[in-house]
């Protein structure tokens, strides 16, 4: 996305305090960080700011304390974990507003780093309270948002502070916004979208938005069953939202109106049980028996999807093409992900994926590293795919 403020636009930061909103909502076990991916994601921003002379005060949330101080949701254990990743001291202060916090920031050495306590310990965080935003803003000279995953929320520490202080995208946020722009903002056409997953009902807005923007939309997973049923095909006892037939037809009509091809599975892998290694067979449309369920797309469908990827210059992907957690019903997802990854790796395809189970599915296929960009932001990524304006991103626009 062009037109948002980047750290480079902030000029010389010597002696300034940067308030940096990060995503430190890391998996923890008994006070120990079990996966430091999100801590490492903040490194580039923090080091860039320190190099240009700024002190760094980190703002983050953890869990859902709903405005209460809950000891298990304190960010205190994250400070030493981030210090280890940073290779430099990171202090901690038990609030994110007020005089004691200001004093702790003032006491930092040049280029010092401090982590402030869980912003969600204040009820005003999630309600986007302006007074809380003003108190947080009073702690710094400029604001950096590096937490795309929280950008769909109009919270005090995401959108509120950005309205008061000059606001810039951090390095992770910048990479995310640039990748999203390449995928749907100003993509190289033709653009192919792949949307799978369990249900149409959770992705109606997403599907309606995508068919107005992309050249072809491949629908897979349980949600394809709803579309197949709406087209009059038998789906046996498959996961299928029969009450959404009209919605499926409406989405197909919008797609036709925008010249978007809808690709549905042409062959299916069916089983009588939803279980790993359940006896299964591959069949054509209208060959699903009443006591069978569709658990994956067949090889012909994967071949058609791979051909669509071959002609596409851009791919945006959300959701698995089958019940990928149970073998052998992971096959279509794995093969399609590997085909996309190989083409992206060879530089012929911009492949961007994200949302929910998608990261797990691409990792399962060992394809995530080959994609151009894989977003780990679940909700924010989906809202972006729905075409919604994200308050935390809007606030960074120049
Ligand atoms: P979502 O969170 O909407 O992306 O859905 C992901 C879930 O959909 C995964 O847990 C898959 O196992 C499930 N899924 C995909 N295809 C099917 C299918 N044909 N039948 C049942 N579940 C499916």
Per residue in 59-83, pLDDT (tens digit) is 999 999 999 999 999 999 999 999 9
Are residues 233 and 145 both part of a single domain?
no
DSSP string covering 61-112: --S--TTS--GGG-STTHHHHHHHHHTS--EEES-SSSHHHHHHHHTSPTT-
pLDDT band, residue 1 (cuts 50/70/90): low
Residue 391 lies in a domain: no
Neighbours of 15 (CB within 10 A): 10
Q: Which of 219, 323, 324 to mutate to test the pocket of ligand 1 (most atoms within 8 A of CB)?
A: 323
Ligand 1 atom having least distance to the Cα of 220: 16
Mean pLDDT of the chain: 96
The whole model's pTM is what?
0.93
Q: Are 173 and 145 in contact (CB under 8 A)?
A: yes
Q: Which of 320, 353, 361, 381 to mutate to test the pocket of ligand 1 (most atoms within 8 A of CB)?
A: 320
Give me the CATH number covering residue 151. Answer: 3.40.50.1260
Per residue in 238-260, pLDDT (tens digit) is 999 999 999 999 999 999 999 99
Tell me: pLDDT of 118 over 70: yes
Per residue in 142-153, pLDDT (tens digit) is 999 999 999 999
Ligand 1 mean position to 204 CA, how many Å? 15
Atom 3 of ligand 1 has which residue's CA nearest to it?
Answer: 197
Q: Which of 196, 198, 229 to mutate to test the pocket of ligand 1 (most atoms within 8 A of CB)?
A: 198
Are residues 98 and 194 both part of a single domain?
no
How many domains is the chain built from?
2
Residue 393 lies in a domain: no
pLDDT band, residue 126 (cuts 50/70/90): very high
The whole-number average pLDDT for the span 221-233 is 97
Boundary (domain end) residue, out of 155, 171, 187: 171
Are residues 105 and 225 both part of a single domain?
no
Per residue in 11-57, pLDDT (tens digit) is 999 999 999 999 999 999 988 999 999 999 999 999 999 999 999 99
Show the ligand 1 pocket: residues with CB < 6 angstroms: 197-199, 202, 221-222, 239, 294-295, 319-320, 322-325, 356-357
pLDDT band, residue 2 (cuts 50/70/90): low
Boundary (domain end) residue, out of 114, 139, 171: 171
Are residues 164 and 277 both part of a single domain?
no
Can you give the pLDDT at residue 356? 77
Domain range for residue 269? Answer: 179-385
User: Cα 331–333–343 angle (5° rounding)?
Assistant: 110
Atom 5 of ligand 1 has which residue's CA nearest to it?
Answer: 197
Per cent of the chain over pLDDT 70 is: 99
Ligand 1 mean position to 392 CA, how many Å? 30
Tell me: pLDDT of 392 over 70: yes
Per residue in 159-202, pLDDT (tens digit) is 999 999 999 999 999 999 999 999 999 999 999 999 999 999 99
Ligand 1 mean position to 253 CA, how many Å? 25
């Amino acid at each position: 996305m062009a037109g948002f403020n980047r750290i480079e636009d902030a000029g010389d930061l010597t002696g300034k305090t940067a308030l940096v909103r990060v995503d430190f909502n890391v998996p923890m076990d008994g006070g120990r960080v079990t996966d430091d991916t999100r801590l490492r994601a903040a490194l580039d921003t923090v080091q860039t700011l320190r190099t240009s002379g700024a002190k760094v005060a980190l703002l983050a949330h953890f869990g859902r304390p709903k405005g209460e101080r809950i000891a298990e949701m304190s960010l205190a254990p994250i400070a030493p974990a981030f210090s280890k990743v940073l290779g430099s001291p990171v202090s901690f202060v038990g609030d994110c507003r007020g005089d004691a916090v200001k004093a702790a920031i003032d006491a930092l050495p040049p280029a010092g780093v401090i982590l402030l306590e869980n912003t969600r310990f204040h009820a005003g965080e999630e309600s986007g309270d302006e007074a809380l935003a003003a108190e947080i803003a009073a702690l710094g000279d400029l604001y950096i948002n590096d937490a795309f995953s929280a950008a769909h929320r109009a919270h005090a520490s995401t959108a509120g502070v950005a309205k008061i202080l000059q606001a810039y995208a951090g390095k992770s946020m910048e990479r995310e916004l640039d990748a999203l722009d390449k995928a749907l903002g100003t993509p190289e056409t033709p653009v192919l979208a792949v949307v799978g997953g369990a249900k149409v009902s959770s992705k109606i807005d997403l599907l309606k938005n995508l068919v107005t923007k992309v050249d072809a939309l491949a629908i897979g997973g349980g949600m394809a069953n709803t579309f197949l049923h709406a087209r009059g095909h038998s789906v046996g006892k498959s996961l299928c939202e029969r009450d959404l037939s009209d919605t499926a037809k409406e989405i197909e009509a919008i797609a036709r109106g925008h010249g978007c091809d809808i690709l549905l599975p042409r062959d299916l892998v069916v089983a009588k049980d939803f279980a790993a290694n359940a006896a299964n067979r591959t069949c054509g449309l209208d060959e699903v028996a009443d006591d069978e369920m569709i658990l994956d797309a067949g090889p012909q469908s994967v071949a058609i999807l791979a051909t669509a990827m071959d002609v596409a210059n851009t791919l945006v992907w959300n959701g698995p093409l089958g019940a990928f957690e149970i073998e052998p019903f992971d096959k279509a997802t794995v093969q399609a992900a590997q085909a996309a990854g190989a083409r992206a790796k060879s530089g012929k395809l911009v492949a961007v994926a994200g949302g929910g189970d998608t990261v797990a599915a691409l990792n399962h296929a060992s394809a995530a590293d080959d994609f151009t960009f894989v977003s780990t932001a679940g909700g924010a990524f989906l809202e972006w795919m729905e075409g919604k304006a994200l308050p935390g991103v809007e606030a960074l626009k120049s």
